[in-house]
Amino acid sequence: MSDSLNKGFLYLVSIGISCIAIQLIPISRQAAYWNQCLDSTISWINQTSNFSKWEKKAQESLAVGVCNGAVYEPKLKYD
């Protein structure tokens, strides 16, 4: 009786872990796409003369905004 109960729990745990692993596939793909966007945006910022003078944190902040879709205008407004 105890052996069959242990096998049942092991089967249930393995199904649960499999379901979690399957659900993580789209999240990992989205994270890889976002990281690729961030890397390419930062390299573009470093190649642009206007932004290459900025501090690294400001460049990363702009890149995060671009990859998240928060930057809509092609030209930045300065105060």
Q: Is the pLDDT of residue 73 over 70?
A: no
Gap between the Cα atoms of 42 and 53, Å rounded: 13
> What are the boundaries of each domain within the chain?
2-68
Reported as a single tens digit per residue, the pLDDT across 15-55 is 999 999 999 999 999 999 999 999 999 898 888 778 878 88
Cα Rg, the chain, nearest whole Å: 23
Quick check: 62 and 51 in contact, CB under 8 A? yes
Q: What is the pTM of this model?
A: 0.67
